[in-house]
Structure 1
Amino acid sequence: MSLEAQLETISKEFQKVQNDLSKAINNQQKLQSQLQENEIEFKLLEKDANVFKLIGPVLVKQDQAEAKTNVDKRIEYIAAEIKRVEGQIKDLSERQDKKRQELQEIQIKFQESKQK
């Protein structure tokens, strides 16, 4: 494979990893936002406040303890998803660094071959 073809291939791979990393970071930000919303949800609620659940087009009264349990489960799920996405971001960052290094090495070889 020629240096030019290698350069193009690695460049495309690098761009793909960058796009995947960007998507993962956006996903993490959305999850962080959801986590904050859910954590705040019951902190502002008074002890004797009514809680309603939206089921289709109807609001149905719900026990506050049951609603809190549901929110706590949602918080656990979101926290686990954040942890998973953080692992994905770490992996993609490492892959991006490797591809960047490969790209730089091929670019140097390509420049050297052009100077000859």
Structure 2
Amino acid sequence: MASPLQVKLQALSDEYQNLNKELQETVLARQKLEAQKQENLGVQQEFEKLKDDEQIYKLVGPVLLKQDKMDAENTVKGRLEFISKEITRLEEVIKETQGKIEKKRTEIIQVQTSAQAGGAPQAVKA
């Protein structure tokens, strides 16, 4: 039968792995947003090159629809604002998760140290 110390160590290890998985998923989401931001910045730069009388078309399913330049520019601007806010939010989540991971790592080390020192009763309280 597993000792209370081993059970606690296993639980901490599982939490640590879950936090690492959460961090990886958040980093991937941030990378996707960064790619979308770059795409939209490219579109915005293309809009700047256009003359006022040139036509803009939007792909909707299999059909190209004529779109007003001002509407298109506002849509891209709105996307960029949203994406930037989401990136900022995800960066905060990443920092928070990294802090949790560091705390969990410290807990695991403390439990392992107390187990090696033979202080099992003290480790269970932590």
TM-score, normalised with respect to structure 2: 0.83
Aligned equivalent of 1:76, options 60, 75, 81: 81
Moved more, 36-45 or 57-66: 36-45
Shift in Å, 1:15: 0.4
For structure 1, list consecutive stretches of 5 or more residues without a partner in the other structure.
none
Q: What is the alpha-carbon distance in structure 2 between the residues aligned to residue 5 and residue 109 of structure 1?
A: 14
Task: Report runs of 4+ in structure 1 exceeding 4 Å deviation.
Answer: none
Larger-gyration structure (1/2): 2
Counting only pairs closer than 5 Å after superposition, residues 1-116 of structure 1 correspond to structure 2 as 2-45=4-47, 46-48=49-51, 49-113=54-118
CA contact (8 A) 1:54 1:60 kept: yes
Moved more, 37-46 or 60-69: 37-46
Shift in Å, 1:79: 0.6
Q: What is the alpha-carbon distance in structure 2 between the residues aligned to residue 2 and residue 84 of structure 1?
A: 38
Q: What is the alpha-carbon distance in structure 2 between the residues aligned to residue 111 and residue 99 of structure 1?
A: 18
CA contact (8 A) 1:3 1:109 kept: no
Aligned residues: 114
Higher relative contact order by CA 8 Å / sep ≥ 6: 1 or 2?
Answer: 1
For structure 2, list consecutive stretches of 5 or more residues without a partner in the other structure.
120-126
TM-score, normalised with respect to structure 1: 0.90
Q: Between the two proteins, what is the percent identity of the paired residues?
A: 34
What is the root-mean-square deviation of aligned Cα atoms in Å? 1.6
